[in-house]
Amino acid sequence: MSAHSEAHSEGHSEGHSHANGSTNRTRLLIAIGIVTAVLVVEVAGAALSGSLALLADAGHMLSDLFGLVIALVASIIALRPASDRHTFGFQRAEVLAALANGLILLVVAAFVGFEGVRRLLSPEADHVQGLPMLIIASIGLVANVAALLVLRGGDRASFNMRGAYLEVFGDTLGSVAVIVAGIVIITTGFVTADALASLAIAVMIVPRAFVLLRDVVAVLIQSTPRETDVQQIRRHIIETPGVLEVHDVHVWAITSGEPVFSAHVVVEPRVFAEGSTGELLDRLSECLTAHFDVEHSTFQLEPAEHAGHEHEQHR
């Protein structure tokens, strides 16, 4: 007859999570205000100067605005408590938001790339004024740097904030490209610099979109987080006094920074005989929290005779 025990080490305290969420929402609201203001200025500047690069940067900022709003909504949804229907709560809302952000970035890059090539093939149709371009892009650069400083820090703990940070960072690079193009047009009259700058912006967008989508897919298919060493976790568990073997190990993430762990642990007979299963479970969960930053862990303790009945695929 087998005996089973489970331990669940819950995530960060509710107060800590709400504090982080409130801070991130404040960051997002400030960034949304900055991006909206610059977007309006850049659209007006693109119409005035005829600059595709400036319009491309405005289009990129529009995608950023959508992304920031989605991230804000997702951060609010993610705070909803768990229920019998949604046992892990709604933390994956931010993963879906990051997925939407990545797809928006790819669409913007495709449009800017197509329009940039079209202008390269028909340079005689370009009527670009360098000075308005330079002034508006400089304003955009200052605003983007301010938005980056606001979002900085939150990008390390959340897909939402990482996506928002990457988008605004791309805008910053885009503003630099437009400034360079504006200077070239003013000093040399080489208006094709505008189309080249727009293509440079498109090229900068694509890698960031793919990096974000790669991380999102890794979570959605429940891959082991890249920073987690499963073999090292196994060693720590096996080295715990009273443990004979560990199998059926699973590590995945609910969202960024929220790894989840489960395993079957074969223990010595004395653990059950002495009634010390609770102490062992405490040691195991404390080990994962302290050494691997895994706050939510589940262990099934079982005697050796039960482990022999486990199906081979669970080993």
Please calculate the CA angle 11-12-15 and round it to the nearest 5 degrees: 135
Residue 8 lies in a domain: no
**Which residue, chain included where needed, has tokens 């709003």?**
69
Q: CA–CA separation, 116 vs 182, rounded Å?
A: 16
Residues 165 and 24 reside in one and the same domain: yes
State pLDDT tens for residues 96-145: 877 887 888 888 888 888 888 888 887 655 677 888 888 988 988 888 88
Domain boundary among 220, 239, 261: 220
The beta-strand segments (E) located in the chain are 243-253, 259-267, 296-302
Given a cut of 90, is residue 293 above it in pLDDT? no
Domain boundary among 168, 188, 220: 220
Distances from the Cα of 89 to the Cα of 79, 135, 144, angstroms: 8, 47, 34
Residues 43 and 180 reside in one and the same domain: yes
Residue 2 lies in a domain: no
Q: What one-character DSSP code corresponds to residue 223? A: P
For residue 64, give both structure tokens.
Answer: 């950023």
Number of domains in the chain: 2
Given a cut of 60, is residue 278 above it in pLDDT? yes
Residues 104 and 248 reside in one and the same domain: no
Residue 283: give the domain boundaries.
Answer: 230-314
- Rg (the chain; Cα; Å): 26
Reported pTM: 0.71
Q: What percentage of the chain reaches a pLDDT higher than 90?
A: 13
Name the nearest CA neighbour of 289 among 313, 260, 265: 260
Residues 171 and 78 reside in one and the same domain: yes
